Amino acid sequence: MGDPELSARKVPCEQCPLRCLAAFRPFADVELEFVKEFKSGELIVQAGTAVLLQDTNSAHLYTVLSGWAFRYKMLPDGRRQILNFALPGDLLGLQGSVLDKMEHSVEALTDLTLCLFPRAKLWELYTNHPSLAFDVTWLAAREERMLDEHLLNVGRRTAIERTAYLLLHLFKRAEELGLTEGDNMQFPFLQLHVADALGMSLVHTNNTLRRLADSKAMRWGRKTFQILSRERMAEIAGYDFTERIPRPFI
């Protein structure tokens, strides 16, 4: 697990591979100009490395350019709760930039590339580019909505419902970003990650995944994941097959 590495290389924002995706809103020229100037570099981290640590405050705000990460909190005795997963386009470190301190940690799930934005210039974004400021709020509200859903999941759904819900949710997010191939995808998670996200033990997670596989709703292989029947998954999860919101910002 190497240390985070600061990259001299910097993908110019005009060529950002994310902006052309349907999930992101188009940028005005002045916005693009500012963001390009706002972005101070890139951070490349290996899978398994900590990006941000509980109780520290970072000088930067990040967006995920490529790869997967997850936010989590730990109790002194080692119990861990994964709060959510970050995919390309997601904001990381907002709490640290807006509040004083971060009260959660972030770890790279795969090799990860982050765009770096100095928090000192965040204020300039708010004063000069209200549309971008609104996007930041939009992202925060969207993340809160996902947290709401996750909390309902952990608090009130049964093990198999939760598991189906989480897997379906992650698959759909990956799909929006073009990270899937039909019903298959590269799956960076270990069963331990699923367990810690759902507030379950590893063993019980294993049993539950097996039950899902037995019911022919999905398949879980080493680092790959396949949905066999979305309907079945959705039915088990109690998933609302609804909206798809367009996405702004990097």
Partner DNA sequence: CGACTTGTTGATGTACATCAAGGTACGTGG
Partner DNA sequence: CCACGTACCTTGATGTACATCAACAAGTCG
What is the DSSP pairing of strand 218-221 with strand 224-227?
antiparallel
* Contact status: 173 vs its own copies (CB under 8 A): no
CA atoms within 13 A on the CB side of 5: 13
| Site residues for DNA per CB under 7 A | 158-160, 190-192, 199-207, 209-210, 220, 222
Which of the listed partners (its own copies, DNA, none) does 201 bind, with a CB threshold of 5 to 8 Å by partner kind? Answer: DNA
Within its chain, how far is the Cα of 10 from the centroid? 22
* Contact status: 71 vs its own copies (CB under 8 A): yes
- Asked whether 43 and 200 are in contact (CB, 8 A), the reply is no
Among 92, 198, 217, 218, binds its own copies (CB under 8 A): 198
Instruction: Pick out residues in 203-242 that bind its own copies (CB under 8 A).
Output: 238
Residues 38-73 as b/e (b if ≥16 CB within 10 A, e otherwise) read bbeebbbbebebebbeeeeebebbbbbbbbbbbbbe
Shorter beta-carbon distance to DNA: residue 101 or 210 = 210
| Piece in contact with its own copies (CB under 8 A), picked from 1-9, 62-70, 123-131, 180-188 | 123-131
Shorter beta-carbon distance to DNA: residue 23 or 160 = 160
* Contact status: 104 vs its own copies (CB under 8 A): yes
Q: How many helices (H) and strands (E) does the chain have?
A: 8, 13
Handedness of CA 194, 66, 22, 25 (dihedral sign): positive
Binding site for its own copies (CB under 8 A): 71, 73, 75-76, 79-81, 83, 94-95, 98-101, 103-104, 123, 126-127, 130-131, 133-134, 136-138, 140-145, 147-152, 154-157, 198-199, 238, 243, 245
